[in-house]
Amino acid sequence: MLASLGCHPDPGTTGKDGQTTTAPPVVIVPSDELRVARLSHLQWENSIRDLLGLSDRTGLSSSFINDRTEGVFDNEVVSLGVDQVLFQQYQDASAVVASMVIDDPTVRAFVVGDSLTTGGPEGFVRAFGARVHRSPISDEDVALYLAAWDDGVAEATTGDPTVDGLRQTLEAMFQSPKFLYRVENDYGVLPDGTIEIGPYGMASRLSYALWNTLPDADLLAAAADGSLTRDPAVLEAQVDRMIADPRSMEMLADLHDQLLKVELYINVAPDTVLFPDYDLDTVPVMQAEVRAYVREVIRTGGGVRQLLTSTRTFVNPLLADIYGLPPVADTGELVPVDLDPSQRGGLLTLAGFLATQSDPDVSNPIRRGFFVNTFILCNQLPTPPAFVQPIPPATAEQTTRDRIDAATGEGTCGQGCHSAVINPVGFAFEEYGPLGEFRTEERGMTVDASDTFFFEEGEKSYANAIEFSRLASEGIQAHRCYTRNLFEYTFGRFPEADADKALVESVGLASQTEDLSTQQILRRLVLDPTFRQLPPAEE
């Protein structure tokens, strides 16, 4: 059955019981005539949740093998394939999901509706199959799923023909490439050779870009009558509706989680001698804080400038202590506060980021400078040479800055990349210790957080991280980089084509000059023709 659904397994092997079993493929490769993109694990989870009408994700994808992508995000289309291990995991998961439908009357009623009553097995296949495929289901696929139904009835696992047929059909549907992949085979070729996807392909592309899940009824209705791709006003209205939907905020939360490496906060483990009162519960609170911070900026219509300069954050007693704030009530919820603008300003001065980019007992200007250059400014840094000698520990007369400068500053092997790019940025954050605590001294010596950095607009000096973040928020690099990150996540690819680069440049410039919100940047990206087009077909 899987072979006829397009999974191309090998002829199979014979098990101990003498039965021939179908082996999964090494890689599923749909027809070259189709435009395909495999769902990320998060998109798989969300799609299953919405298909079954669940209140939360199943968590089954936690057992899937991790995808190895080259960029920042895990939905990079060219890297998402299906190998033998993942295919088996999809098979196992499909069986579990089918059982969830069979065993839970509420879920079963949501999935089946009245389709079986009014149309029998074919009625169910056509109704639910269209939701699974995210487009009208073909007669050929209907026949394949009905054959799966008959196979289930013939096996008579439970003795209930409806249950046996339904289970087998659901398992087949959840293993189908037309579920596991976004199959954009409704497309046309424009006079200049550009390929433009059709309405159903556009509906899926939009929904997975803005919601990380399958299209809803409104979006599919606009695809069904063709207005989604025929009428710009309809497209704009759908995009505005989707961006205003809570699922868009859920998508943006995942985007920023990956961009800011929030999962790495679990590595925060400060020196217990320096921080004897450190509480292990601080890490999840740091993660919750940065998520609440980002959400608040987006909710209030902020963009790059606000992300890099806002002093509004959310704390509990543990974080309030790190920030030197008056005690706050321990209610189990984060409390909104305004941080001291002379000490904090922006995402990069939050404790979680600073602690993650530190060593247990000292700050780490190199790690902090590398992160900001790479993920906030999108500066391309060369690969460090092999066998780099570790930086010697500081002497009694050296601050961390002195130690780093002596090993990698001007006149050393680190001159150039370190002394001109990484170090000046990292030094801006020297007023924050290894747990992100504010300080003016380090081991009795005055901390120096001032430096000069060559932004694209020219050389600019700053006294500390607050001034650096403000300068970055005003320059084109941070706006272009943020736009590029939104592009990579929503498009699922790097902006390598000329049209992609031009789009990132124009929207990034608009972000800088018009102070666009995150949602406005997102809107401009997905409404651009580049979003629904592919490069000219190869001759």
- pLDDT more than 70, % of the chain: 91
Res 360 pLDDT > 60: yes
Are residues 198 and 177 part of one domain?
A: no
Paired sense of beta strands 195-197 and 187-189, if any: antiparallel
Are residues 71 and 206 part of one domain?
A: no
Q: Indicate the pLDDT class of residue 391, thresholds 50, 70 and 90.
A: confident
Q: At which of 245, 274, 294 does a domain end?
A: 245
Query: Cα 405 from chain centroid?
Result: 36
| Within a domain: 527 | no
Find residue 338's DSSP bridge partners. 312
Q: Which domain holds residue 434?
A: 254-382+399-474
Find residue 358's DSSP bridge partners. 363
Between 235-249, 330-344, 408-422, the lowest mean confidence (pLDDT) is in 408-422
Are residues 378 and 331 part of one domain?
A: yes
Are residues 193 and 174 part of one domain?
A: no
| Within a domain: 532 | no
Are residues 339 and 263 part of one domain?
A: yes
How many angstroms separate the CA atoms of 25 and 82, rounded?
8
Q: What pLDDT is stored for residue 388 in this prediction?
A: 65
Q: Indicate the pLDDT class of residue 13, thresholds 50, 70 and 90.
A: very low
Mean pLDDT in residue range 98-105: 97
Are residues 197 and 170 part of one domain?
A: no
Res 328 pLDDT > 90: yes
How many angstroms separate the CA atoms of 338 and 138, rounded?
57
CB 428 within 8 A of CB 462: yes
Higher pLDDT, 406 or 234: 234
Sheet holding 187-189, edge to edge: 187-189, 195-197, 533-534
Are residues 344 and 270 part of one domain?
A: yes
Q: Report the domain count for the chain.
A: 3
Beta strands in 107-226 (DSSP E): 181-183, 187-189, 195-197
Query: Cα 174 from chain centroid?
Result: 23
Record the tokens describing residue 83, joined without a space: 């190998």
Are residues 212 and 344 part of one domain?
A: no
| Within a domain: 512 | no
pLDDT tens string 403-430: 999 888 776 656 667 778 999 999 999 9
The amino acid that residue 167 corresponds to is: R
pLDDT tens string 135-182: 999 999 999 999 999 999 999 999 899 999 999 999 999 999 999 999
| Within a domain: 138 | yes
DSSP assignment string, 213-274: S---HHHHHHHHTSHHHH-HHHHHHHHHHHHHSHHHHHHHHHHHHHHTTGGGGGG----TTT
Q: Which helix (H) or strand (E) holds 282?
A: helix 282-299
The mean of the pLDDT values for the chain is 90
**Burial profile 477-504: b = 16 or more Cβ within 10 angstroms, e = fewer:** bbbbbbbbbbbbbbbbbebeeeebeebb
Q: At which of 183, 200, 224 does a domain end?
A: 183
**Total-model pTM:** 0.91
| Within a domain: 336 | yes
Mean pLDDT in residue range 364-371: 96
Are residues 240 and 228 part of one domain?
A: yes
Higher pLDDT, 238 or 391: 238
| Within a domain: 349 | yes
How many angstroms separate the CA atoms of 151 and 165, rounded?
7
Are residues 270 and 209 part of one domain?
A: no
Query: Cα 427 from chain centroid?
Result: 29
Are residues 211 and 172 part of one domain?
A: no
pLDDT tens string 469-523: 999 999 999 999 999 999 999 999 999 989 999 999 999 999 999 999 999 999 9
Mean pLDDT in residue range 345-364: 97
- Say which residues have a Cβ less than 8 Å from residue 293's Cβ, sequence separation at least 6: 310, 312, 313, 314, 347, 350
Res 41 pLDDT > 70: yes
Are residues 262 and 231 part of one domain?
A: no
| Within a domain: 85 | yes
Res 1 pLDDT > 60: no
| Within a domain: 457 | yes
Q: What pLDDT is stored for residue 70 in this prediction?
A: 87
Q: Indicate the pLDDT class of residue 196, thresholds 50, 70 and 90.
A: confident
pLDDT tens string 270-311: 999 999 999 999 999 999 999 999 999 999 999 999 999 999
Q: At which of 474, 490, 524 does a domain end?
A: 474
